[in-house]
Amino acid sequence: MNEPAKLHIQGISKAYRGDGHEVVAIDGIDLGIRNREFATILGPSGCGKSTLLRIVAGLAKPTQGSVRLDGRTISGPGRDRGMVFQSYTLFPWLTVQQNIQFGLQLGGVSRPEQDKIAQQFVHRVGLRGFEHAYPKALSGGMKQRVAIARALANNPDVLLLDEPFGALDAQTRALMQELLTQVWEEFHKTILFVTHDVEEAIFLSDRVFVMTARPGRIKAEIDVPLERPRSYELKSSETFLRLKQQALDLIREEAIKATQYKDTD
């Protein structure tokens, strides 16, 4: 545990000015994500977990605190932190392959090299034959596979995923989770994943950070000592169910608080 954190989130708070009064979205969050770790932030809706991720991505500025990646303080978005959003963010005028190459092209990678890397990722996420299809021809799950491939192809230091499977149906979602673990076990990137789905969090992660309802704070940290490689059978194992129950209890309290908060909002 003495290994220095790859991604260091230090005293992050974020307050919005809304309707004349100040709304505190997240309040004093400290997190250290280790190199090549799959870390997940689990929280009820509206707890500010996406805000935290956006701050790490450099897309939002914290009111207080700082984020450091490999010791360097983050001041804005950059290619060292790839991001996958919940909404479909593929560029509709580019084909699957062109989407995956987008970051490589910006980074000045040579054309043959771009093609090679894109091909590799097209295969890896199981989209062979769809290289030249436009996003409009893809299903929701396929679109998210392209989004993940696009972020990974850019070879970021950290991959940030903001409820990437939130809009998918349950079956597709389960398949995507398996795909993501496989891809992660292969590329072994440091991942910060955000979700409100308890099972998803336990299944994917090495560590799960449970957040409180607004204002978001870290309520608990759950280590997930499940063996890898992981497959869906794991979801019915005793350890998995015990961890899931533990997380469920924690998140339920917060979800109840969150609904009460919304009513008075």
Partner 1 sequence: MSEPEQKTERASWTMRDFLSPREPIPASLYIALGVGSFAVLLALWAALTYSRLIDPLFLPTPGRVLQAGLDLFVEFDFTTDILNSTYRVMLGFLFAAILGVPIGLLMGTFKAAEALIEPIMGFIRYMPASAFIPLFILWLGIGDVEKVAIIFVGSFFQLVLMVAVVAKNVHKDMLETAYTLGARPVQVIRKVLLPASLPGILDTLRIIVGWAWTYIVVAELVASSSGIGYMIISAQRMLRTASIIFGILTIGMLGLITDYGFKWLHRKLFPWVE
- Chain contacts with partner 1 (rule: CB under 8 A): 57-59, 76-79, 81-83, 85, 87, 89, 91-94, 102-103, 106-107, 134-136, 147, 150-151, 154, 160
Query: Residue 57 or residue 210: which is nearer to partner 1 going by CB?
Result: 57
Query: Residue 7 or residue 213: which is nearer to partner 1 going by CB?
Result: 7
Pick the closest to residue 127 from 144, 105, 113 (CA basis): 144
Query: Residue 21 or residue 136: which is nearer to partner 1 going by CB?
Result: 136
Give least dist CB 144 to partner 1, A: 12
Categorise residue 152: left if φ over 0, alpha if ψ from -120 to 50, beta otherwise. alpha
Q: Write out the two tokens for 128.
A: 């062979």
Query: Residue 158 or residue 224: which is nearer to partner 1 going by CB?
Result: 158
Give least dist CB 107 to partner 1, A: 6
Q: What does the alpha-carbon distance between residue 101 and residue 95 come to, in Å, rounded to a whole number? A: 10
Query: Residue 124 or residue 230: which is nearer to partner 1 going by CB?
Result: 124
Give least dist CB 2 to partner 1, A: 31
Give least dist CB 94 to partner 1, A: 8
Query: Residue 191 or residue 198: which is nearer to partner 1 going by CB?
Result: 191
Give least dist CB 239 to partner 1, A: 35
Tell how far CA 230 is from the center of its chain: 18
Give least dist CB 39 to partner 1, A: 18
Q: What does the alpha-carbon distance between residue 95 and residue 92 come to, in Å, rounded to a whole number? A: 7
Radius of gyration of the chain (CA): 19
> What is the total residue count of the chain?
265
- CB contact at 8 A, 53 and 196: no
SS (HEC) of 9-53: EEEEEEEEEECCEEEEEEEEEEEEECCCCEEEEECCCCCCHHHHH
- CB contact at 8 A, 98 and 174: no
